[in-house]
A and B are shown apart, each in its own frame.
Chain A
């Protein structure tokens, strides 16, 4: 969609505009350092998969990109705008919620545990932000919400409450909810980790479709098959730093870093 109809392969990756830029990002929880200097560029239509052992800081990185966790040092820019802070002379002040919402306007997020609102139907979940953030009229909001639900294959479930949907369907509603805001980039934090194995495929299928259409995505995942197949860039994190990043071939077939090799070995033994 962002590519004006050109197939994505025609643009060299490095020519595309940077959507999210992360520079020397650090994050501590109290005295505990969790991110120790992350540099990362996510370009238009790029699919970046972030892998790494548990506790390496993948979720924290993603949450910092959304400013759900305020980062401690460095900077995150969304399409050129500094995220979360404003510079006032020497000091850096936290943005108010309106300023923050403005910078984050084009960032969507999909969570491991879906985070749907249980007292609203699928349709209401998708339509709420269309009404109150995009300020659409009720009928227009409903039309676009239904469109988004159809896109994830749930056109016939609009009236269901989350409790009346399977995990895979709930996650697809959550994707529709993010999608309906027409974001320029969507962040996914382990979108399939809370799902029964037989439901993983339907969610990955929707994500694959988004990738093909040119959506920019940053995905924390343990689905190595998906990463190998769909990622433009795979990022390997360990102990709060990026140890290696490259194409899926470089990372999976030709890993150089020892910890990455070890991580992949563990993963292979576990999955056979």
Chain B
């Protein structure tokens, strides 16, 4: 009962916290997507320096803890004269992080488009750029939707880490409520449920996007 009590008493704070989490992760995923696609094509480029650069970028952002990345962005950028608010620094770190993971997802999707389809196009004299635009990318988006949905879910969960640079997202909201109520078990249980609900919504959206992109195609 205490549980519902707290939820009701702090409903506005919780709503704002959840919205902050949703907006930050949503923005990161969307802004990270074109970047990720560009890096994916970079990873399979015939140009060696480009390929190398993209591989190093990917390895850095996939190979270091998100917390380290957020702190680096937060403390590094001001030191080179860029004064960022905590929220901006957090979103920037998340974008750069997710772009590396999305690059890997898109790269995997690229290799899942059957090579024969590209060969058929080559035999018909279709230029490489057109093959990419008309044949590869439309199928790529369909193929990667489940993986991108997963990435969205991890970003949403991982975004809780940005509470360390005092962004009042969902988890930090919870911490504030705990210090007012001294009911950590109930409050964190509540926070967990809110995360689950948001993730169920994302999963549902992902399934819808997948169904829409399938449009008669069943490779």
Interfacial residues, chain A to chain B (CB-CB below 8 A): 66, 68, 97, 101, 104-105, 107-109, 111, 113, 115-119, 121, 128-129, 132-133, 161-164, 174, 177-178, 181
Contacts and interface: CB of A to CB of B under 8 A. Distances in A.
Given A66-B123, A129-B126, 5 more contacts: A68-B122, A97-B128, A132-B126, A161-B215, A161-B218
Given A97-B127, A132-B126, A133-B125, A161 B119 contact: no
A271 B165 CA distance: 74
7 contacts: A101-B122, A111-B119, A115-B119, A129-B126, A132-B130, A132-B134, A161-B216
Contacts of B134: 128, 132
- Give the secondary structure class of B's interface: helix
B215 A119 contact: yes
Nearest to A161: B216
A102 to B, nearest CB: 8
Nearest to B218: A163
Nearest to B213: A119
A2 B110 CA distance: 40
Given A132-B127, A161-B217, A119 B122 contact: no
B142 interface: yes
A163 to B, nearest CB: 4
Given A97-B128, A101-B125, A115 B217 contact: no
Question: Which of B122, B138, B139 has its CB near the most chain A CB atoms (within 10 A)?
Answer: B122
Nearest to B130: A132
A163 B216 contact: yes
A111 B126 contact: no
Contacts of A181: 124-125
Given A109-B120, A111-B116, A128-B134, A119 B127 contact: no
A118 to B, nearest CB: 4
Interface of B: 114, 116-117, 119-128, 130, 134-135, 138-139, 142, 215-219
B163 to A, nearest CB: 42
A109 to B, nearest CB: 4
B124 to A, nearest CB: 4
Given A128-B126, A181-B124, A115 B114 contact: yes
Contacts of A66: 123
A177 B135 CA distance: 15
Question: Which of A117, A121, A177 has its CB near the most chain B CB atoms (within 10 A)?
Answer: A117
A125 B201 CA distance: 36
B120 to A, nearest CB: 4
A115 B116 contact: yes
A97 B142 CA distance: 28
Given A113-B116, A117-B135, A177 B217 contact: no
Contact of A68 (B119, B130, B138, B218): B119
Given A119-B139, A119-B142, A133 B217 contact: no
Contact of A119 (B119, B125, B126, B138): B138
A41 B119 CA distance: 24
A104 B116 contact: no
A68 B123 contact: yes
Contacts of B126: 128-129, 132-133
